[in-house]
C-alpha cells in the first residue's frame, strides 16, 4: 500500500536520503540505498527488499500504483515536478523517479551453498572499487544465471547508488555474500567441492576455453588496475586467461566477466547441466533494457 504526499517543502526529514544522494557511503552505513529510474524502481518494488519511500512526478503514479499497492509495508510517495526534484536532489534527471530501499540481512556462504541448485555457479570479486563496474558485473551475473555473488572485503558495495543504477536493478534478485575475508571464503568453497578459478590476464596454467566450467565452480574477478590480490590468487585452484590477440593484454571487469560467464553457460548447456529454456527466463529478469 502507499500514501501520496505533495511536496511543498524540502524540510521533511524523510527527504534527507534524496537530498544527500552524493553521500553514498553514509547511506550504506545506514543500510539504505537510492534506486534511480523507472525500471530500477519498478524492479525494487517487485522485489522482497524493504521500500522506505518513493519520490516522483505525478505522471508516474498510475504506472507504478499496482506495484506500490501490492507492497506489504506502507510506502510514502512524495510528488513534485521534475524541475523541483532536481532542485531537491542537486541532480539533473531524465525521468525523476526515485525510491529509497533498505539493505536486508544478507545470506551466509553456508546458506547459498545449501539453497543454490547444482552444479553451483558463483562469482567472487576482489579489489573492485568502481561502483559502475561492480554494477555491470552484477548485471552480468544475473544475465548468466550466477547463483550468488561474493563481494570481498576490499570491494565497494553493490548497494551504492551508482552500482544499483548500473545493475539496472538486477541486484535485487541476486544473492550477495559479504565475507570478512575473501581468501578464507574461497578456501571454504574448495572444501565444499567448488572449484575456484581466478580470471587472470597473464595466467600460464590454462586458457578459458581449456577450463572445465561445467561443474561446481566459482569465478573470481579483480579490478582492471589492481587485479586480484596475491592472497586471493593463492587461494584459488587455478588461474585462467581469456585468449586475446597480441597488443591487448586485458579487458575491464565488465567485459571479462561477461566472456567468462557466457563460456560457463555454454559448457553447462552442452553438458546438459543447464537447460537451454532457462535462457528465456533469465532474459525476462535480467536481459537488455532500454
C-alpha cell at 206: 590454462
Q: Tell me: the pLDDT tens digits for 204-220?
A: 778 999 999 999 999 99
Q: Using the predicted structure, report yes or no on whether residue 159 has a pLDDT greater than 90.
A: yes
In percent, the amount of the chain with pLDDT more than 70 equals 93
Instruction: Write down the pLDDT at residue 276.
Output: 55
Lowest mean pLDDT among 44-48, 89-93, 189-193, 235-239: 89-93
237 and 141 share a domain?
A: yes
C-alpha cell at 105: 540481512
CA pair distance 179, 226, nearest whole angstrom: 20
Which string of b and e fits 44-80 if b means at least 16 CB within 10 Å? Answer: bbebebbbbbbbbbeebeeebeebbeeeeeebbbbbb
Q: Using the predicted structure, report yes or no on whether residue 287 has a pLDDT greater than 60.
A: no
Helical ranges in the chain per DSSP H: 16-19, 24-29, 38-46, 61-70, 82-89, 109-115, 131-143, 161-166, 182-191, 230-235, 253-271, 278-286
Q: Using the predicted structure, report yes or no on whether residue 171 has a pLDDT greater than 80.
A: yes
150 and 68 share a domain?
A: no
Cβ contacts of 288 within 8 Å, gap of 6 or more: none
Query: Which residue among 102, 137, 172 closes a domain?
Result: 102
Give the 3-state secondary structure percentages of the chain, helix then strand then coil, rounded to 5.
Answer: 40, 20, 40
Q: Tell me: the pLDDT tens digits for 174-188?
A: 999 999 999 999 999
Instruction: Write down the pLDDT at residue 8.
Output: 81
Instruction: Write down the pLDDT at residue 93.
Output: 80
The domain that contains 20 carries what CATH number? Answer: 3.30.1330.30
CA pair distance 37, 44, nearest whole angstrom: 11
The domain that contains 247 carries what CATH number? Answer: 3.40.1280.10
CA pair distance 100, 246, nearest whole angstrom: 46
Instruction: Write down the pLDDT at residue 237.
Output: 96
Instruction: Write down the pLDDT at residue 10.
Output: 86
212 and 250 share a domain?
A: yes
Cβ contacts of 156 within 8 Å, gap of 6 or more: 128, 129, 130, 131, 134, 163
Q: Long-range pairs for 83-92 at CB < 8 Å and ≥24 separation?
A: 84/7, 85/18, 85/55, 85/56, 85/57, 87/10, 88/7, 88/10, 88/15, 88/18, 88/19, 88/55, 89/18, 89/19, 89/21, 90/19, 90/21, 90/22, 91/21
154 and 237 share a domain?
A: yes
Q: How far is CA 163 from CA 181, 224, 231, in A?
A: 22, 17, 26
212 and 274 share a domain?
A: yes
The CB density around residue 22, as the number of other CB atoms within 10 Å, is: 12
The residue among 20 and 287 whose pLDDT is bigger is 20
Q: What is the pTM of this model?
A: 0.90
Give how many domains the chain has, as a whole number. 2
139 and 90 share a domain?
A: no
Average pLDDT over residues 121-128: 98
Amino acid at each position: 500500500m502507499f500514501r501520496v504526499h505533495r511536496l511543498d517543502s524540502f524540510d521533511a526529514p524523510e527527504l534527507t536520503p534524496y537530498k544527500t544522494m552524493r553521500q553514498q557511503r553514509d547511506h550504506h552505513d545506514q543500510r539504505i540505498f537510492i534506486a534511480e529510474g523507472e525500471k530500477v524502481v519498478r524492479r525494487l518494488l517487485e522485489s522482497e527488499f524493504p521500500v522506505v519511500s518513493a519520490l516522483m512526478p505525478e505522471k508516474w503514479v498510475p504506472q507504478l500504483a499496482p506495484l506500490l499497492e501490492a507492497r506489504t509495508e506502507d510506502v510514502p510517495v512524495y510528488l513534485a515536478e521534475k524541475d523541483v526534484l532536481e532542485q531537491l536532489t542537486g541532480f539533473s534527471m531524465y525521468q525523476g523517479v526515485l525510491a529509497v530501499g533498505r539493505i536486508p540481512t544478507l545470506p551466509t556462504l553456508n546458506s547459498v551453498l545449501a539453497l543454490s541448485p547444482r552444479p553451483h555457479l558463483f562469482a567472487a570479486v576482489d579489489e573492485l572499487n568502481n561502483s559502475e563496474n561492480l554494477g555491470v558485473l552484477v548485471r552480468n551475473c544475473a544475465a548468466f544465471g550466477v547463483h550468488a555473488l561474493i563481494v570481498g572485503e576490499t570491494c565497494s558495495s553493490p548497494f551504492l547508488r551508482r552500482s544499483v543504477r548500473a545493475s539496472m536493478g538486477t541486484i535485487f534478485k541476486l544473492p550477495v555474500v559479504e565475507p570478512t575475508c575473501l581468501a578464507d571464503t574461497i578456501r571454504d568453497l574448495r572444501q565444499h567441492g567448488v572449484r575456484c578459478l581466478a580470471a587472470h590476464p597473464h595466467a600460464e596454467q590454462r586458457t578459458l576455453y581449456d577450463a572445465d566450467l561445467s561443474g561446481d565452480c566459482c569465478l573470481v574477478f579483480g579490478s582492471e588496475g589492481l587485479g586480484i590480490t596475491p592472497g586471493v590468487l593463492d587461494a584459488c585452484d587455478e588461474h585462467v586467461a581469456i585468449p586475446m590477440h597480441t597488443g591487448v593484454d586485458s579487458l575491464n571487469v565488465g567485459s571479462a566477466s561477461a566472456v567468462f560467464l557466457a563460456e560457463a553457460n555454454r559448457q553447462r548447456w552442452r553438458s546438459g547441466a543447464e537447460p537451454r529454456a532457462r535462457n528465456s527466463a533469465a532474459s525476462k529478469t535480467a536481459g537488455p533494457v532500454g
